[in-house]
Amino acid sequence: MKFLILFISLTVVSASDYELWQEFKVKFSKSHSLTEDKIRFEIFQNNLRKIEEHNAMYDKGEVSYFLKITQFADWTLEEYRSMLGAHLNGKPKVKPIKTFKHEANFNRPESIDWREKGAVLPVKNQRHCGSCWAFSTTGALEGQFAILHNEQISLSEQELISCVEENRGCGGGWVDVSLTYVQQNGLSSEKQYPYLGGFDYCKNNTGNKPINSTQGYALVDNNEEAMADAVASVGPISIYVNADNDWMLYGGGIFDHEDCGDRFNHAVLITGYDSQSWTIKNSWGTSWGEEGYIRLIRGKGQCGVTVFPIYPVL
């Protein structure tokens, strides 16, 4: 009977929309009450229209990236924004030990991809927890560890979420504060301290941690020349971005959007670059973007990409 009522209420909508809706719910394990399902379906349809309109421009060559159905396709923009969890207010919370600056005589390669060099681990998924800051932190540490030791070890975001008291767990946090915690306490592996996607009491006595401490972190001068030098010579670096608007439904291509938003709300990891774009690893799973990555236009400072690039010094 419930199915019949729902079917009657949907007779005025596109059958293809409803089919996509069913596929979407299965793919992303969405489950709602009958009332909630109707509301979510309407939001999903609105996002479908946005995807279709934008991709029509992409097909004509009017924009450089396309949109697709992501796990956020049944969310409003306001709900999506509430999930973003990086904080950056004014000056860094903790002072860097040094600043990396651009040098005119540095022989920088035209492109680099640290994934090809074994310094980038597989894409992870923060789920509904606003813990991007923890994933950006571990990504930068994993990269430095792999480069220094020629070994890939997945590090624990959950330890950072549960144990860094100055941060706010799933409510957001600061990468520099997280790196200071690691400097003082070390960091467990993912295997030692698995991800829960929510708050848990701190248990940082996990035994022999793969990272015992660090020297601190380095701040990269906030311009794209210095950032490219740092990525080329040091490895993946943590950055803050405005992940507003079309980030929510990004499907692929070079993201070039003047209005990314007006606040720094997401922490990610630059893993490489080419002549046109930065290659950025996200923490929203592999179904989002280009297998979990976004290519962001280079040379325009878009989405606040230069505001606070940092990396740990092991």
Q: 253's torsion region: left (phi>0), alpha (psi -120 to 50) or beta?
A: left
Active site residue 129: no
3-state secondary structure of 233: helix
Q: In degrees, to the nearest 5, what angle opens at C-alpha 241 toward C-alphas 240 and 245?
A: 155
Which of the 8 DSSP states describes residue 93? S
Q: Can you tell me which residue has the tokens 């941690």?
A: 209
Burial grade of 169 (CB within 10 A; 0-12, 13-18, 19 or more): buried
Q: Which residues make Cβ contacts (< 8 Å) with residue 8, sequence separation at least 6? A: none
Catalytic residue among 129, 132, 163, 170: 132
The yes-or-no answer on residue 223 being catalytic is: no
Q: Which residues pair with 255 in a beta bridge?
A: 296
CA–CA gap between residue 123 and residue 115 (Å, rounded): 11
The label of the residue with tokens 């600043």 reads: 99
Please report which residue ranges of the chain form alpha helices under DSSP H. Answer: 2-9, 15-27, 34-59, 77-83, 132-149, 157-163, 175-185, 224-233
Catalytic annotation, pick one of 170, 242, 282, 303 = 282
Tokens read off for 132: 């991007």
Look up 132 and say whether it is catalytic. Answer: yes
Q: Which residue out of 167, 265, 266, 303 is catalytically annotated?
A: 266
User: Which residues carry out catalysis?
Assistant: 132, 266, 282
